[in-house]
């Protein structure tokens, strides 16, 4: 017997592959910073120090690490300009747009959930 989650005629098969896919997605967005970084870049390309200033509480180490992770996931591109002092610019990619449905679903459920739970 195959377990399912169903809604209005659509099903999600609850198999290992699905579970893995969901976890892949969650992992590439997990942590306190990745979304904030993508948000910071949503208004245009920015430099390292500029991003660091916009995100409250992030350390250089974390910003560096998270940017690298986002880059290997093709969600951020890194441009190095050969100037002195060095200039490095980060920008979001077209691929970032594919996250739209995910963000929307998460946002909608998050809003619903806060209402449901009744957090202030």
The contact set with DNA (CB under 7 A) reads: 31-32, 47-50, 52, 57-62, 64-65, 67-68, 78, 85-88
Which of a copy of itself, DNA, none lies near 110, with the C-beta cut-off 5 to 8 A by kind?
a copy of itself
What is the chain's Cα-based Rg?
18
- The β-bridge partners of 13 are 4
Residue numbers 96-115 binding a copy of itself by CB under 8 A: 96-114
Q: Report, in Å, the least distance between residue 118 CB and DNA.
A: 23
Which of DNA, a copy of itself, none lies near 35, with the C-beta cut-off 5 to 8 A by kind?
a copy of itself
């Amino acid at each position: 017997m195959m377990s399912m989650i169903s809604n209005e005629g659509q099903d999600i098969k609850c198999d290992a592959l699905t579970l893995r896919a969901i976890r892949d997605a969650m992992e590439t967005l997990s942590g306190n910073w990745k979304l904030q970084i993508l948000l910071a870049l949503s208004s245009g390309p920015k430099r390292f120090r500029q991003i660091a200033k916009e995100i409250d509480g992030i350390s250089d180490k974390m910003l560096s690490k998270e940017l690298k992770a986002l880059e290997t996931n093709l969600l951020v591109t890194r441009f190095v300009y050969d100037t002195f002092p060095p200039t490095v610019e980060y920008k979001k990619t077209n691929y970032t747009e594919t996250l739209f449905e995910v963000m929307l679903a998460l946002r909608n459920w998050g809003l619903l959930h806060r209402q449901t739970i009744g957090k202030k």
